[in-house]
Amino acid sequence: MEILLGFCQFNVYWGDKERNFKKVESLFSQLKDNNSLKIIVLPELFSTGYLFLDRKEIFNLSEKVEGETYHFLKYLAKNYNSIIAGGFLEKENNNFYNSSLVVAPDGSYLLYRKIHLFKDEKDFFAKGNLKLGIFEYNNLKIGTLICFDYFFPEAARTLAIKGAEIICHPSNLILPYAPLITQVRALENHIFWILANRIGIEKRGDKELRFLGKSQIVSPKGEILIKVENEETLKLVKVNINEAKDKKVTDKNDLFFDRRTEFYEI
C-alpha cells in the first residue's frame, strides 16, 4: 500500500498558540489539492514553545487532552485528509506532561506522554505514565515517541514489536547526532521514521536553545528519503508501507524471530 509521509518544520513562537496554528496552516495550505491520505508530523510542543521559566507559565499554557491543540489537529486532519502527529503541553489534575497526539480525519486519536524527560524537563513535567501504544487507522499501524525518547532503543523496539510500521517523532532536537540515531532506529526495526524537528533560537531569561532542524524521513532500510536543513517547510514523500512488514535481514535472519530474549538483561 502506498501512502504519503511528511513533516512540517518551522520556528515556533513561544507562548502564542494562535500564531503557531496560523503558521502551521499556512504551510499546510499547499496541500489543498492533494486528497491522498497522508501522515504528517509536527514538532514537539509546537503550539506553545519549549523553554519555561516556572510552573505558572506551564499552568497558563497547558490544556486538557481534548483542548485547543487537539481541535486544531482534528481540523487539519479532516480538511487535509491527513493523520497528524504533534506535541502539546498537557495538564491532568495537578500534573503536567510533555505530550503528543496522533489525530485521524475522523477525530479519533492516540495520546502519548513523553517517558524519557530531557534535562530541565525534569523540573517541570511528570514522567509519562501511559503504555507505548499503536494507533490503527485505515490498515496503518502508527507509533509515536517524543524527542529524547529516540535515545532509548527499547522504546522504538517495543513499538515495532507491537506492530508499528511508522514512528512519528515530534522533536525539539539540539544534539547534533540525533538525526543519525533515528536513522539507526529505523534500520534496526525495519520501520519508517518521521522526524519533525523545529528550527530557530528560543531565549528566555538566562536560558537559550538553538534548535537543530534537519527533519527527515527514513526508510526501513535506513535510507534517508527526504531531509531538510533549517528552513520552514512542509515536505512529503510517497512510500510503500509494505516495506515495513519485512523484517528479514538475510534469507536466514529475521529481526524479531532471531531475538534471544532469555539472554537479555534490561
Size of the chain, expressed as the number of residues it contains: 266
Q: Where are the alpha helices (DSSP H) in the chain?
A: 17-28, 55-61, 68-79, 153-161, 178-189
The DSSP symbol for 135 reads E
Note the Cα 11 to chain centre separation in Å: 16
In 3D space, the residue among 174, 266, 186, 195 whose CA is nearest the CA of residue 237 turns out to be 195
Per the residue annotation, which of 17, 23, 44, 141 is the catalytic one?
44
Residue tagged 503541553 (cell numbers): 89
147 tagged catalytic: yes
- 27-30: long-range contacts, CB 8 A cutoff, minimum separation 24: 27/232, 27/233, 27/234, 28/76, 28/80, 28/234, 30/234
Per the residue annotation, which of 17, 23, 38, 114 is the catalytic one?
114
Residue 50 and residue 209 in contact, taking contact as beta carbons nearer than 8 Å: yes
44 tagged catalytic: yes
Per the residue annotation, which of 38, 90, 147, 235 is the catalytic one?
147
Longest distance between any two alpha carbons in the chain, whole Å? 57
The DSSP symbol for 251 reads T
Residue 81 and residue 36 in contact, taking contact as beta carbons nearer than 8 Å: yes
Q: Angle of helix 17-28 relative to helix 68-79, nearest 10 degrees?
A: 10
114 tagged catalytic: yes
**What amino acid positions are annotated as catalytic residues?**
44, 114, 147
